[in-house]
Amino acid sequence: MATIKDVAQHAQVSVTTVSHVLNGTRHVSAAGRARVEEAIRTLGYVPSAIARSLKRNNTRTLGMLIPNSSNPYFAEIVHAVEDRAFGAGYNVILCNTNDEPHRQGSYLQVLAERRIDGLIVVSTGHDATLPTQLAGLTVPTVLVDREIAIGEQPGDMVETAHHQGGLLATRHLLSLGHRRIACIGGQEGLAPSEQRIAGWRAALAEAGASVLAGSEALLWHGHFTSQGGYEAMHALLRSPVPPTAVFVCNDLMAMGALCAAHERGLRVPEALSLVGFDDIELAAFTSPPLTTVAQPKQRIGALAVDMLMERIEGRRQAARQVMLQPELRVRASTAARQPGAATAAAIPTPTTTTNPVLS
């Protein structure tokens, strides 16, 4: 592998001159620059990013932690982050923690060793060590989607008003005449899931005590996966008095729920209305297209990068926390309640299925 000394020897200039050409730190004659550039091409010389970062005290690199790269919601956030970072002249190192606290801690150590200039974190749930780990970092950090207390002072944060999203979804179902409205949440104890469920409860309470009564029996958890939504929906539809509508706390679970309803012979939305959360790109292409609560994913990713740039460039010192508002996207998976429609209790469960259901 060619070195900077090889380039200097080939171009018949000093190492210092090669460095000035590479870094633009001092004027070099046109003839000298041409010889250096020709030597670089001929020798295939690649400057050391580590050495250049030591001189400049930055690496033009951001780190990003996400809990599940297979979830399209996180993939769309990453896409927005990469677009914004690339436009600002930065690269992104992406680490998928797979919802494992130990892996999350290991990746934080790796990113710190890579001397990243800033970090974006969508945290893995139930990791009590994360606040201490983040507090020990010396680079600017922005949290996305999930709140974490880092030290004594609030940190930078971008999130959606999850409680408001739960309200929007449930109020929409109530406006269509539904009164027995179930909810499929994500992991228990995970802040976005708990806040969406709280929005569901608040909307039911607004509708009156008779609607709220017995609602806890209609709450299931699906771990934010399609399989989890599938299993939770089967469990709900085995209820002696099944719901006529379901608020599902993310779109992946809603897709699993749609599959379960189809297996039970239920037409959506004629016999059962469904609302998801996130508005991932696939939500518009389910059958029927999914009504869902849209998170402003492009803005979330762009804001996270912009907030890091403010810190990196010294344009801001005080913590900044941004709460973005969700919007309801009404598609074909919700409709007015039909009193005469068949219920799940009247339809036998298929004797064979390829997926397990909750017991």
How many angstroms separate the CA atoms of 199 and 206, rounded? 11
DSSP string for residues in 236-261: HHTSSS--SEEEESSHHHHHHHHHHH
Residues paired with 276 in a beta bridge: 292
Q: Which CATH superfamily is domain 162-294 in?
A: Response regulator (3.40.50.2300)
Residue 48 has a pLDDT of 63
How many angstroms separate the CA atoms of 207 and 222, rounded? 26
Residue 55 has a pLDDT of 52
Burial 10-29 (b: 16+ CB within 10 A, else e): bbebeeebbbbbbeeeeebe
Residues paired with 118 in a beta bridge: 62
Unique residue bearing structure tokens 């005590």: 209
Unique residue bearing structure tokens 């990113």: 111
How many angstroms separate the CA atoms of 167 and 47, rounded? 54
Residue 352 has a pLDDT of 38
pLDDT in tens for each of the 359 residues of the chain? 788 889 899 999 998 898 888 877 788 999 999 999 999 889 888 776 555 554 556 789 999 999 999 999 999 999 999 999 999 999 999 999 998 988 999 999 889 888 899 999 998 877 788 888 888 888 999 999 887 766 555 689 999 999 999 999 999 999 999 999 999 999 998 999 999 999 999 999 999 999 999 899 999 999 999 999 999 999 999 999 999 999 999 999 999 999 999 999 999 999 999 999 999 999 999 999 999 999 999 999 999 999 999 999 999 999 999 999 999 999 999 999 987 554 444 444 444 343 433 43
44 Rama sector, left if φ>0, alpha if ψ -120 to 50, beta otherwise: left
Residues with Cβ within 8 Å of residue 183, at least 6 apart in sequence: 170, 197, 200, 215, 218, 219, 220, 246, 247, 248, 249
How many angstroms separate the CA atoms of 93 and 23, rounded? 23
Contact 42, 57 (CB under 8 A): no
Q: 15-23 vs 30-43: helix axis angle to the nearest 10?
A: 90
How many angstroms separate the CA atoms of 154 and 188, rounded? 24
Assessment of whether the complete model's pTM goes beyond 0.85? no
| Domain 4-47 indexed as CATH 1.10.260.40 | yes
Q: Which tokens go with 228?
A: 């989890």
**Any idea which architecture 61-160+298-324 has in CATH?**
3-Layer(aba) Sandwich (3.40)
DSSP for residue 185: E
177 Rama sector, left if φ>0, alpha if ψ -120 to 50, beta otherwise: left
User: How do strand 118-121 and strand 91-96 relate by DSSP bridges?
Assistant: unpaired
Q: Which tokens go with 117?
A: 């200039």
Residue 116 has a pLDDT of 93
Residues with Cβ within 8 Å of residue 11, at least 6 apart in sequence: 17, 18, 32, 35, 36, 38, 39
Domain with CATH 3.40.50.2300 in the chain: 61-160+298-324, 162-294
Q: Report CA-CA distances (Å) from 248 to 4, 20, 22, 115, 221.
A: 58, 58, 54, 40, 9
